[in-house]
Amino acid sequence: MVVSSARATRLSASSILPPSTHAPAYDRAARKTGIVHLGTGAFHKAHQAVYTDDALAAGGDWMIAGVSLRSPDVADALNPQDGLYTLVVRGAEGVSARVVGSIAKVLVAPREPQAVMAALTAPETKIVSLTITEKGYGLDPKTGGLDRAHASVAPDLADPRRPAGAVGLIVEALRLRRARGVAPFTALCCDNLPHNGKVLKRLVGEFAAAVDAELGEWIAANVTFPSTMVDRITPASTEATLAEAERLTGFEDRAAVETEPFTQWVIEDDFVAGRPAWEAGGAIFATDVAPYEKMKLRMLNGAHSMLAYSGYIAGHQYVRDVMRDAALARLVARHMDAAARTLDPVPGVDLEAYKADLLSRFANPAIAHQTYQIAMDGTQKLPQRLIEPAIATLRAGGSLDAYAFAAAAWMRYCLGMDETGQRYALRDPREAEIAALLGGLDDDSASIVDRLLALPGLFPHELAAAPEWRRAVQSRLETMLADGMRRAIESEARG
Ligand code: CS2
C-alpha cells in the first residue's frame, strides 16, 4: 500500500468531518453577527466562542466577528478556513476534537480600522466582548481608573475618532451609535480582573467623559457592563496542537487550539440588547459574580502564579511537572488553602471540592501548560491574585507564609536569570523599569525586596510597610538566592 505524503486538505466550510468530531449543528451562513469580540486569542476560542457555538445550535443570531487589536496572525489562519477551527480537548482519559463554528471572520484593527468600526456600530451588534489581557485596559493601579498616559489610551485620547485601543474603540463606537440613533450594545469583559465589568465601566466612563461629557452620561445611563468569571486552562497552541487536530479530523487546521475538559463561565445577567442562550453551553447566570471571581482569582490564578515563578526557577517547564514534584505540589495545595481562608462563602460551591478539582486539573498529564506562559505580566496579575488576599490575611492576623513565598518567588524571577545563568525575558509591561531597579543587585535580597516593594502602584503601603510581611518575604528570597529554589521549596514544604 502506498502511503500518501500529500498534506491533508485545509479545514473549511465545505469539509465533511468524521462522525467522531462534533461539528456546528446550525446553518452558519444564515445567522447574523450579534457579537464583536476584541482579542480573538486562544482563550476566547476555547471559551466564549464554544459557549456561543452551543447557543447558536439552540437558535439566535449570535455569530461572532473577531477583532485582533494588533497581530494579523489569528485572522490569517482563521479566515481562509471560513472562521472554522478545531478545539482539541485533552483530558487524562483521552483526547477529542470539536470544530467550532461561531466565529464568522476575524478583522485586524490596524489593517482595516474602518471595517472594525463598521462592525462595532452595526445595528445587529448587540454585545462587544473582550479578552485583551489585564494589560490591555489602561488601568491605573494606583487609582483603579484610567491611566491617561498608558500606551493603549494616550494616543486614543489625543485622537479619539481614530482609536486603536479597546477602551477608545468602545467609546468611539458608542459615540457613533448614539449620533446615528442606533441602540447601544452591552460591553462584556472576560478578562481575569476582579469586578471586571465595573472596571471596564469606569474606564469607558472616564475616557468618554474626557472626550465629551454628555456622551459619558449617555453611556452611564444606557450601556451595561456585566461582570464575568471565566475559567478554562488553555495553553498557547503549538505545532503539536495543529498535528493533533489534523490527526483527529483529517483536515489541516492552522488555527486549532487545545484546552482541558473543564470549563466555567459565571455571568451577571445584565444585557441591554439581549444575549445568547449561553446556558446551552453550561454558563451560569448570577446576580453577583464577585464571590466566584474572587475564588477563582485567588485559588486558581494565585496558585498558578506562585507555581509559575517558583516552578520556572526550579526547572519545571510545565504545570504538570510541578504537580509531580511532591514538595512543590504541597505548596500549591497550601496556597489554595490560604486563599480559601480569605473568601466569604461562595453560593453553591464547596471550597474543599473546588480545591481538589483544581489540583487534578493542574496535574492533567495531557495538558502542556508552560510555567513561562503563566509567569508573564506579573505586575498586572499580582494585585488581584496575591496582594489583595495577602492584605486580607494581614488584617485578619493570619499566616502570611503562602503569600510571602509567592512574592519572593516572583522577586527571584524578576532577576531575569535562571540558576544555570541563562537569561530570559520577563515579558511584563514593566520589565524595563524592573530591570533598571534591580540592576547589579543579584544576590542582595534586602535591597531587591525594598525596591520591588516600592515599585509604584504595586504593593499598597499597608502591606509594603508591614514589618512581618517584609521579613517573611526577605527571608524566603534570601534562601532562594543563597541555596537555590529547590532547597527553598523543600524547606518551605517542611513548614
Ligand atoms: C493563568 C490563566 O496565564 C495565567 O496567568 O493563570 O491564564 C489561567 O490558566 C486561566 O485563568 C484559567 O482559567
Domain ranges of the chain: 28-286, 290-494
ipTM: 0.99
3-state secondary structure 424-439: CCCCCCCHHHHHHHHC
CATH architecture observed for domain 28-286: 3-Layer(aba) Sandwich (3.40)
pLDDT single digits (tens) 79-95: 999 999 999 999 988 99
Overall average pLDDT of the 254-267 stretch: 98
Whole-angstrom distance, CA of residue 147 vs CA of residue 494 = 43
Q: Is 440:402 a contact under the CB 8 Å cutoff?
A: no
For 63-75, what is each residue's pLDDT tens digit? 999 999 999 999 9
φ/ψ bin of 427: left (φ > 0), alpha (ψ from -120 to 50), beta (otherwise): left
Ligand 1 proximity of 321 Cβ (cutoff 6 Å) = no
Q: From ligand 1's centre to the CA of 301, what distance in Å?
A: 6
For residues 229-233, average pLDDT: 98
Pocket lining: 266 vs ligand 1, CB cutoff 6 Å = no
Q: Is residue 3 predicted with pLDDT exceeding 90? A: no
Which CATH class name applies to 290-494?
mainly alpha
**pLDDT at residue 5 greater than cutoff 60:** no
Ligand 1 pocket: which of 299, 300, 370, 371 to mutate (most atoms <8 Å of CB)?
A: 300
| Residue 495 clears pLDDT 90, i.e. is over it | no
Q: Whose CA is nearest to atom 13 of ligand 1?
A: 231
Which of 43, 135, 192, 377 has the most ligand 1 atoms within 8 A of CB, as the residue to mutate?
Answer: 192
pLDDT at 208 over 50: yes
Angstrom CA distances, 5 to 8, 16, 241, 248, 299, stand at: 9, 21, 20, 17, 47
Ligand 1 and 303: CB distance under 6 A: no
Decide: 364 in ligand 1 pocket, CB within 6 A.
no
Whether 264 is in the pocket of ligand 1, judged by its Cβ within 6 Å, is: no
CB 373 near ligand 1, within 6 Å: yes
Reduce the DSSP state of residue 474 to 3 states and report it: helix
**Is the shortest distance between the CB of 374 and ligand 1 below 6 Å?**
yes
Summarised one tens digit per residue, pLDDT across range 330-341 is: 999 999 999 999
Mean pLDDT of all residues in 389-404? 98
Is the full-model pTM beyond 0.90?
yes
Q: Is the CB of 367 under 6 A from ligand 1?
A: no
DSSP state at residue 267: E
Alpha helices in 181-301 (DSSP H): 196-211, 213-222, 239-249, 290-295
d(CA 186, CA 331): 41
- Minimum CA distance residue for ligand 1 atom 1: 374
Nearest CA to ligand 1 atom 11: 231
- Give the atom of ligand 1 at the shortest distance from the alpha carbon of 264: 13
Per-residue pLDDT, 122: 98
pLDDT of residue 399: 98
Q: DSSP state, 135? A: G
pLDDT at 440: 85
Higher-confidence residue: 267 or 6? 267
Any residues with CB less than 8 A from the CB of 495 and at least 6 apart, and which?
A: none
Give yes or no for residue 222 having a pLDDT over 90.
yes
Sorted by sequence, the CB contacts under 8 Å of residue 377 that are 6+ apart come out as 133, 134, 135, 427, 428, 429
pLDDT over 90, % of the chain: 97
374, 376, 381, 384, best to mutate for ligand 1 pocket (most atoms within 8 Å of CB): 374
Instruction: Tell me if 358 sits within 8 A of 337, measured CB to CB.
Output: no
Position in ligand 1 atom list of the atom nearest CA 47 = 13
Pocket-testing residue among 131, 196, 233, ligand 1, by greatest number of atoms within 8 A of Cβ: 233
Closest-CA residue, ligand 1 atom 5, reads: 374
Q: Considering the chain, what is the average pLDDT of its residues? A: 97
Question: Scanning the structure block, which residue is given the C-alpha cell 519572593?
Answer: 408
Alpha helices in 250-350 (DSSP H): 290-295, 302-313, 319-323, 326-340
Q: What is the mean pLDDT of residues 402-420?
A: 98
pLDDT band at 2 (very low <50, low <70, confident <90, very high): very low
Residue 21 cell numbers, joined: 468530531
pLDDT in tens, 8-67: 999 999 999 999 999 999 999 999 999 999 999 999 999 999 999 999 999 999 999 999
Angle separating helix axes 467-483 and 445-453, nearest 10 degrees: 130
Give the tens place of pLDDT for each residue, 436-472: 999 988 889 999 999 999 999 999 999 999 999 999 9
Digit-coded pLDDT (tens) for 112-171: 999 999 999 999 999 999 999 999 999 998 899 999 999 999 999 999 999 999 999 999
- What pLDDT does 1 receive? 41
